[in-house]
Amino acid sequence: MAHVHKLVLKGQTVPISTIQRIIKNNVNQCRKVSTNQGLWAAKTHDENTSSPVPVGEVKRYATDCMVSVGVKEDHASALADVLVAADYRGHYSHGLNRLEMYVQDIKSKICDGNAIPTVLKDKYSTALVNGQNSLGPVVGNFCMNLAIEKAKKHGVGWVAANNSNHYGIAGWYSMLAANQGLMGLSFTSTSPLVAPTRAKTATLGTNPITLAAPALNGDQFVLDMATCTVAVGKIELQRRKGLPIPEGWAIDTDGKITTSADVAMKGCLMPLGGAEETSGYKGYGLATLVEIFCGISAGATYGPNIRRWMDTKRKADLGQCFIAVDPECFASGFQTRMSDLMSHLRHMEPADPTKPILVAGDPERAHIALVDAEGGIRYHVNQINASAALAEKLKVKPMKHI
């Protein structure tokens, strides 16, 4: 457990006063919440929440599951790291929740858990990598480590990968770079769920963008955002509660904006910005930028050619992009200016005194602090039950609560 803590927390230390302020103002409402990348809203702890599961135990369990279906230890561990990091940071949609999907991909041989990515083209600052259909985190770590090496030598490393798979939270890879004092960026194309502005069918993915940049004393700016307004999970949540959704989240099958969660589930997600009058075409443009950096650059599938979500009949062939940049190549004092800007933002007067201004990465830091304080991650009971069932099916030791 200590090992995993260090792995995930590396470079994440922030001034204790900041954490305390964030926790005080947010964390009581912020448990078990963030089913989406970047979600700042929150809900309170309830009877459906488990007792804490130590972070190291979650890692052990996820690794065991992957090993049990034939994935070698280091690849299983790489995947487990990314899934655990998602839950630890509060992005439960991308953590244990996805483990069975990865297990299934290995069992059906749609993904080759033991394949090693290879470099197809290499120039000073760039590389094209064939992911060899390996696990997304194996490809992602390979590519970002290559980008980091190039950035240290040449200032920038820009690596595009084809033939990859789901790589978990995009922020994992940008933070690999930030933990070494670099700016890190990553992008991945994903299955079509988002309709371009004016269209009524989905042809672009939720296509995340992430930037992590180091500040003083281990503090970091960590932006990790889908380029659509919200992920499907938030709509599901509203539907489960019988609540409407805000305008700008989704359209119906005729392309009209809907506030019904039921209708939305049959329609499409909207790009960031929502309707055309609120500049949804900018989110659509950003989603296309991600396609260009990923599948288009790497020669992988892109846009409408990417397999549908949960399609397991053909391999994913996802395109991904990893960038590292050494700020020392520009003006010295980068981290000092980062800390100054972040401090300024965090101390701005809020419109609502109970809702402090946050910097990208703060909600996740608050969640990490909560997990550490409680000694583990609390899951929804449905997740706990699903994990127990999976453990039994795979004949691995189930996760142990505190």
* Positions in 285-344 near its own copies (CB under 8 A): 285-286, 288-289, 291-292, 295-299, 302-304, 325-327, 329-334, 337-338, 341, 344
Find, among 23, 321, 51, 45, the residue nearest to 162 by Cα.
321
Q: Cβ(221)–Cβ(215) under 8 Å?
A: yes
Q: Tell me the C-alpha distance between 23 and 21, whole Å.
A: 5
The tokens for 114 are: 């033991």
Three-state SS at 220? strand
Q: Which residues of 238-257 are buried (b: 16+ CB within 10 A; e: fewer)?
A: bbeeeeebeebbbbeeeeeb
Binders of its own copies in range 204-263 (CB under 8 A): 209, 211, 213, 221, 223, 225, 227, 229-230, 246-249, 251, 254-256
Identified binder of its own copies from the candidate list 18, 273, 306, 316, rule CB under 8 A: 273
Give the Cα separation of 163 and 318 in Å (integer).
6
**Identified binder of its own copies from the candidate list 200, 307, 315, 380, rule CB under 8 A:** 200
Q: Find residue 49's DSSP bridge partners.
A: 380
Options 62-70, 270-278, 308-316, 394-402: segment touching its own copies (CB under 8 A):
270-278
Q: Would you count residue 197 as binding its own copies (CB under 8 A)?
A: yes
Q: CB of 279: closest distance to its own copies in angstroms?
A: 5
- Pairing mode, strands 126-130 and 156-164: parallel
Bin 296: left if φ > 0, else alpha if -120 < ψ < 50, else beta: alpha
**Site for its own copies contains 355 (CB under 8 A):** yes
Picking from 323, 325, 357, 324, the residue whose alpha carbon sits closest to that of residue 341 is 357
Closest approach of its own copies to the CB of residue 359, in Å: 7
Count of chain residues binding its own copies (CB under 8 A): 93
Is the Cβ of residue 304 or residue 375 nearer to its own copies in the bound state?
A: 304
Each residue 160-179 as x (binds its own copies by CB under 8 A) or -, in order, gives x-x-----------------
Task: Give which of 220, 166, 169, 136 is closest to 39, Cα–Cα.
Answer: 169
> Do the beta carbons of residue 284 and residue 278 sit within 8 Å?
no
Closest listed residue to residue 369, CA positions, set 177, 90, 64: 90
Identify which of residues 46 and 352 has a Cβ nearer to its own copies in the complex: 352
Minimum CB distance to its own copies, residue 315 (Å): 17
Complex with its own copies: residue 115 or 289, whichever CB lies closer: 289
CB closer to its own copies out of 67 and 251:
251
Residues 2-41 that bind its own copies (CB under 8 A): 38, 40-41
**Stretch near its own copies under the rule CB under 8 A, chosen from 68-76, 137-145, 279-287, 387-395:** 279-287
Residue type, 344: H
b/e code 198-216 from CB counts within 10 Å (16+ = b): eeeebbbbbbbbbbbbbbb
> What is the chain's alpha carbon radius of gyration, rounded to the nearest angstrom?
20
Report the nearest approach of its own copies to the CB of residue 162 (Å): 7
- Interface with its own copies (CB under 8 A), residue from 78, 106, 128, 148: 128
Measured between alpha carbons, how far is 170 from 294 in angstroms, rounded to an integer? Answer: 13
Out of 52, 184, 356, 376, the only residue in the binding site for its own copies (CB under 8 A) is 356
Answer yes or no whether residue 70 interacts with its own copies by CB under 8 A: no
Q: Which of 34, 126, 165, 190 binds its own copies (CB under 8 A)?
A: 126
Q: Of the candidates 5, 154, 239, 401, which one interacts with its own copies according to CB under 8 A? A: 154
- Applying the rule CB under 8 A, the residues between 92 and 111 that interact with its own copies are none
